[in-house]
């Protein structure tokens, strides 16, 4: 009986840490890259934002206080250029 308890305790010890996560896949949508400035540690990061329609993209560009770059429509392989 005691050997079974030791095995279960040893098995639990081997399974420490966080399990791996799978990478994010882009869905088919319009994408905008926003350059966000963090004043806490003086860094600039790029954030990728997706929107479903062009009017939503235009509204995001007009209301954003940061630098915004429109990338285009992601078709699953590459960005297609789209007129705004």
Q: What is the model's pLDDT at position 52?
A: 95
Q: What is the pTM of this model?
A: 0.68
Q: What is the DSSP string of 18-61?
A: PPP-PPP---SSEEEEEEEEETTTTEEEEEEEEESSHHHHHHHH
Q: Which residue has the tokens 């319009």?
A: 30
> In the chain, what are the domain boundaries?
25-84
**Per-residue model confidence (pLDDT) at position 13:** 62
pLDDT at residue number 24:
80
Between 15 and 83, residue with greater pLDDT: 83
Q: Distance (Å, rounded) from C-alpha 19 to C-alpha 7?
A: 22
| pLDDT per position as a tens digit, 46-64 | 999 999 999 999 999 999 9
For residue 36, what are its two tokens?
Answer: 């966000």
Task: Place 5 in a pLDDT band, splitting at 50, 70 and 90.
Answer: low
């Amino acid at each position: 009986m005691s050997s079974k308890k030791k095995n279960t305790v040893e098995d639990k010890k081997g399974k420490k840490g966080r399990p791996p996560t799978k990478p994010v896949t882009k869905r088919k949508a319009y994408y905008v890259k926003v350059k966000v400035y963090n004043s806490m540690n003086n860094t600039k990061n790029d954030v990728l934002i997706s929107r479903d329609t062009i009017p939503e993209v235009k509204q995001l560009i007009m209301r954003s206080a940061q630098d915004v770059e429109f990338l285009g429509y992601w078709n699953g392989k590459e960005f297609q250029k789209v007129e705004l």
